[in-house]
């Protein structure tokens, strides 16, 4: 009945979900940076396939232990999700390869307005003026501290467009499928991770060869590089699971906006552990502006009218699907 005790519990779970996602995401970025920069393992698409294979094993273990209930996801929805997800992964890798780092960062920022547009069109979400302004502050802050050189070409632009829209659709679809079929994060991962792992491990080595000119089967593994690969795969379980939890509890837009805290933390930790080259006043100011924008967004979107969902998606009974996490946390609904 909306008691203070229940709201406090929800706030604690929301904070734990974000903390889980930020910690695991920053951790995997730092591990992958060491793996690729120090040990020369540049096969990003194949590595993602290994991440999802490890996640698949986790879902199998959870199901065997009885911690995940049987559920159903129609094959057409699964196929669409896998297409969006794999296009997102390959598109981001190709975009980084074909574009300057500055334009790659701009493309990543474009995911927020793309996700907003999907929510407005498909869910009839309405954003208040403060919510829109807070999103703009986050975009400006992250742009200031990450965008440096900006150069683009036709094929790089095409890769960026595919990466932005496939990522936006993939994240929107995580939220949509959880609401429509009353799937929790474990259930949805149990359906999607095996299909993604199989497809990426099949095409990943070829994509990586096209991007790097190197073959993963010719890579000279050392015990240390193998350790980093295993560590990356273990942390990836937390990344994949926490992403589904956060998008399920909130929305794709909230995940994108507040997720830029990871960008700020990665920059800070990069300067801390890998040298202070590139650290200057405008980078620091951009980081501060981005964090203030995220705080403003969290406050503005939680207020009545800050972010209203004006359509209600019919959901299936939770009896056979194990339930789902609290949906649309921090959002307001109008029926």
Report pLDDT digits (tens) over 18-57.
Answer: 889 888 988 898 898 889 888 889 999 999 999 999 999 9
The whole-angstrom separation of Cα 272 and Cα 285 is 17
Lowest mean pLDDT among 9-18, 50-59, 87-96, 141-150: 141-150
The whole-angstrom separation of Cα 86 and Cα 119 is 21
Confidence band (pLDDT; 50, 70, 90) for 318?
very low
The whole-angstrom separation of Cα 219 and Cα 321 is 42
Q: Report the pLDDT averaged over residues 124-149.
A: 85
pLDDT in tens, 258-282: 777 777 777 777 666 666 555 677 7
Query: In the prediction, which pLDDT does 169 show?
Result: 95
Query: In the prediction, which pLDDT does 282 show?
Result: 73
Query: In the prediction, which pLDDT does 250 show?
Result: 79
The whole-angstrom distance between residue 8's C-alpha and the CA centroid of its chain comes to 26
The whole-angstrom separation of Cα 225 and Cα 2 is 51
pLDDT in tens, 215-265: 999 999 999 999 999 999 999 999 999 988 888 887 788 888 877 777 777
Q: What is the pTM of this model?
A: 0.80
Confidence band (pLDDT; 50, 70, 90) for 161?
very high
Which segment, 26-30, 80-84, 176-180, is predicted with the most confidence on average? 80-84
The whole-angstrom distance between residue 264's C-alpha and the CA centroid of its chain comes to 15
Query: In the prediction, which pLDDT does 315 show?
Result: 54
Query: In the prediction, which pLDDT does 166 show?
Result: 95
Where is pLDDT greater, at 105 or 205? 205
- Residue 318 near residue 181 (C-beta atoms within 8 A): no
Tokens of 315: 């959901």
Query: In the prediction, which pLDDT does 323 show?
Result: 46
The whole-angstrom separation of Cα 297 and Cα 302 is 8
All structural domains of the chain with their residue ranges:
13-306
Q: Which of 302, 324, 314 lies closest to 247, judged by CA?
A: 324
Q: Report the pLDDT averaged over residues 64-89.
A: 91
User: Can you tell me which residue has the tokens 């552990």?
Assistant: 273
């Amino acid at each position: 009945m909306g008691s203070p005790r229940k709201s406090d519990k929800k706030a604690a779970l929301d904070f734990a979900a974000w903390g889980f996602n930020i910690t695991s995401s920053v951790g995997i970025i730092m591990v992958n940076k060491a793996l690729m920069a120090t040990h020369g393992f540049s096969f990003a698409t194949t590595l993602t396939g290994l991440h999802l294979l490890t996640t698949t094993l986790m879902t199998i273990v959870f199901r065997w232990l009885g911690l995940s209930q049987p559920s159903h996801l129609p094959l057409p929805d699964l196929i669409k999700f896998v297409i969006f997800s794999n296009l997102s992964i390959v598109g981001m890798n190709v975009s980084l390869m074909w574009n300057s780092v500055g334009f790659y960062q701009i493309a990543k920022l474009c995911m927020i307005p793309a996700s907003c547009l999907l929510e407005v069109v498909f869910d009839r979400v309405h954003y208040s003026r403060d919510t829109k302004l807070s999103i703009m502050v986050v975009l400006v802050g992250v742009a200031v501290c990450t965008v440096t050189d900006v150069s683009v070409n036709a094929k790089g632009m095409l890769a960026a467009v595919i990466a932005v829209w496939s990522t936006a659709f993939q994240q929107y679809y995580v939220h949509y499928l959880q609401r429509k079929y009353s799937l929790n994060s474990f259930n949805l991962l149990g359906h999607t991770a095996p299909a993604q792992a199989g497809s990426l491990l099949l095409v990943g080595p070829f994509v990586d060869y096209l991007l790097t000119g190197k073959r993963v089967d010719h890579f000279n593994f050392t015990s240390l590089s193998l350790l980093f690969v295993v560590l990356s795969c273990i942390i990836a379980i937390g990344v994949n699971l926490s992403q589904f939890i956060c998008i399920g509890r909130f929305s794709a837009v909230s995940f994108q906006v507040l997720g830029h805290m990871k960008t700020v933390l990665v920059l800070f930790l990069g300067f801390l552990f890998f040298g202070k080259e590139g650290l200057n006043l405008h980078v620091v100011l951009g980081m501060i502006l981005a964090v203030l924008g995220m705080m403003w967004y969290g406050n503005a979107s939680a207020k009545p009218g800050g972010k209203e969902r004006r359509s209600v998606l019919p959901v299936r009974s939770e009896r056979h699907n194990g339930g789902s996490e609290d949906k649309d946390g921090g959002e307001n609904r109008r029926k």
